[in-house]
Structure 1
Amino acid sequence: MPSLSQLLTQPGLGLRLVQAGAGDPEISWVSTTELVDLSEYLDGGELVLTTGVSLSADDPRWRDFVADLSRARVAAIGFGIGVVHEHIPDPLRSAASTYRVALIEVPPPTPFIAISKAVSSLLNVDELRAAHEALLAQQRILDHAFGETGPAGVVSAVAAATGRQVAVLSRADTVIAGTAGFPTNFDGDAGEEVAIPAGGARSSREVSLSSPEFTSLDIGAGRRLTVAGGPLGPEARAALTAGAIVMSVEYRGQERAGEREAQRWSRLTQALFDGDQRAPGLLHLLDPTVTVPPLLRAIAVQGSPDAISAWRAEPRGGIARLVALPTEPSPGVARAWQIITDGAPTEHALEVAASHGLDAVVGVAAPLEASMSSLHSLEPHLPTLSAIEQLYQEPRSPRIIHADRDSAVLGALLRAPSTAGTGQSQGEGAPARAVIGAMLGPLQCTPSGRDGDPHGLSDDERATLRSTLRSFLAHQGNRGACADHLGVHRNTVRTRLTRIESLLNRSLADPDDRAELWIALRLEDRLDTELTVGTDDRKAARQYSRKGAVPSPFTPPIATRRW
């Protein structure tokens, strides 16, 4: 803002300083008045012009008039002579000296409007100067943005332009990066900064981050560029704004690039779950340096949408980037899938999920190209995870379920040999196949004698009835929940269940039949995975556990579509 001395030197006004005030005050505006009590209409910094119409030369109220303007922190008083008073009244001079308020004399040829125009012109020049300085500061900040210093250079540039301590704060008010003098000790409960003197004793002074001592602008991803030290002037605020824009563009660019990358890995994950034969080779198109271990596991995580979002935002590398996009099976509940290396990486992935309060189901180990089998092995356990009211309880202990550790009965049937009364072993899994055939009959995935099947079931019909039976059993015989899960009407579920009972000659109201059918479905899932993981894969897995990851045996085919 222009100062009083600048106004006094303006040519053609003829202004004369009669009484100096405290220093060289800055003028924010001009106010013309003949009121005796004006303080409630002022903001401070004004040049008050008056001719003294309301007061005589010896009126004692001149003292109150000046005292009132002093409390309002005006820049100066301009008294126009030759209109009512030929000279500035002595009580006015005396009061201005007492309260140290600047007093100037306005000669008769000079109209008050000329002074207002002069102040306005000085204000315009000052605004242009401030805008030029702010532009220079913004240019310096942009230079850092496109240089090698990155965000650290932007923080330094904003600190230099504002003359303040600057930092980037997280959503939890943690200092991510900042200048050395920025306050870093904040009370966790109140979100307040607590000054700690050199002796180590806690000071009683506490300053809230939301107080006027801090000025913040959002830069995305829950981060804020924050300046400490009180309110900012126009130049400093322009520098802060420029820094926030630069960092916001950078962070948002990183977020968009990361999201695009995550979507590509998600599409590949879904292709693996769908059994796409090209998917294992396409993995190397996304990352030619990635190594594929012999055995991996599919993991399903479930929790609140916010928890799933935070889990998905965790930094990942290598195979761990195989994360499918989240879904919402019911309001307030979200679910996502990941493919992870068997062994220690799987345990670490479960720890990460638990840190976000997520339940998890771990599928059986399988090669990359058999990821669909690992997915199928965990699907029956999904309905048993925490309900919505349990997800939002605090504190809570997340559930962890391993599909290959859940049933001793399944393991015994899968590994039991059979002699079939011939004295010769028919190998492991023969009893399991016998149970599957006896219980599922025409609903087996690969029923024997399909060509001569008197029921005439097509593959689509068989798949529909199997999915309905699995959903019905997984929901503890609740037809309504089964219908909601399948997205069909309850009457449709009733019709399908009647057909299933007719085909299998079983009663779904009988708990024994339901238990045996469930075991048969689970056996078929597990047997399919056990057969997929062959001898060579088991040998490679043992080598992998001793030596670490090995290069992928798959040769990437020519890409036929973009990922």
Structure 2
Amino acid sequence: MAEVPLGVPSSPGDGPRAGVPASAPAGEPMTPPVGLAALLGERGLGLRHLAGPAVAEVHGVHASEMADPSPYLLGGELLLTAGAELTEAGAAGYVARLARAGAAALGFGVTPVHEVVPPGLAGACERYGLPLVEVPPGTPFTAVARSVGRLMAEARTRELRRVAEAQQALAAAAARPDPVPALLSRLAASLTGWAALLDPAAGPGAGAGAPGPAGGARSTGTARAAGTAPGAAPGAARAAASAGVPAAPAAGGGTDTVPGAVAAAGGVPDAEVLGALAALVRRVGPGAAATATDALGPVSLAAYAVGGGRVLALATPGRTPGDHTIASIAAVLLSLVTAEHPAGDEAAALTRLLLDGDPAGALAPGPWYAVHARGDGDPRALAAALGTVLLDPRGDGVRLLTDREPGPQPGWRLGVSAPAAPGALATAAAQARRALARAEAARTPLSRHTDPGFAGLVGEEEARAHAEALLEPLSPALRDTLRGWLAHHGSWDRSAAALGLHRNTVRQRVARCAALLDRDLDDPDTRMELWFALRRLP
């Protein structure tokens, strides 16, 4: 019998996740799952729990009367069946296959095939830990699927509302005079867990008390954990404690410290959780993953690269839909408030450049490369790839200045100048502009400046058009004769020998060229112009 999808999505997300319950699909779904208890609470369905665990997360609904539907399951489904192909002897194997496939629960519809749920089926579900639910005769399978879809939509709405409220609270925290502690405190309260900004490059005791980049108190050696921010759920402390994340100390109390943290908020986890977090933190950062997640028992762990080598580390009692989105928002805000701004030598160099107009006084000796670019990517990402922060996005193009020799970049067309000293950057910018024009004309990802002399100051297309217009009156034979005569500096004998013509023929053809062009071929400027034009044409 064919498989019957009932319209409730059960598609997984983008990969396995440590710590996910066995009944969940291989990846996190686009919508939050529905708890089995919530489905049993739908009085209009009349569902009854018969065997197995009473707790499960339903990610979708599927109906099948196949003897083995497991190859068609993604994991996390509530499988509905009337048992058309089910026998008492095959019940154990049937349930075992469903459990291995990751089914969330089994819904058995009594009548018309079976008057009651087979006892062997209930025993097998108890043995393999698969929840068994009885679907009464008056409840269509489609009604179960619709209820699951409605509950998913309601859960999604609650998740979006929670994320929106958390985003507003985090944005308000980022605007405070002490943004880093405020953001971490608000994040810890939103996730009912522990949040810390870590600097893996700083060893214990290195520069404690130095001012941080955001103006907050920075201690690269240790940082005192702040109390949970106001507004945390009343049961947060109990939930955290039951999951192994200690409750946050009361405001103004507690002396727990966290080695290597810039700032922290929430209850400090135990040593085992901190050790697992330290290993997770090493997996993110420049040149590595931007985020990483793991779990240690019931405690969910996460790490987010913030910038400048710093990492946002989280330990929460379990994982709730919306947690990743909220944490990502906090990571972005932390990146903004901790970004380094010109100070000290950088500010002095910028001031010299603005007041004195002297790039050599503001930049290192170099060499420097001017880059003109055009593409569809993020200009800031291009600047990061070229190792520079000197970026000027304007219109449909981007200008950059870098002290590293640029290479091709995916999604971009680049024009690169010759190496230049700080005092020659204006010339380098012109070179980069012309190189970009050549790259676009040749459809190549990168074009570097070469030094063709004055001829290189005119664009190739413009030069060719001028040459065609100037030499249009001349036939190919006259062009070849004029080119040979100019190449031999007007010598009749050498030109004739090179062209294989009689010297009088060369004289006649050159005179004909002068007449058709109405130019004085004894004028050096005329000869120069004609030579440049002839070089642009075959």
TM-score scaled to structure 2, two decimals? Answer: 0.44
Q: Say which structure is richer in strand.
A: 2
**Larger Rg belongs to:** 1
Higher helix residue share: 1
Give the TM-score taking structure 1 as reference length: 0.42
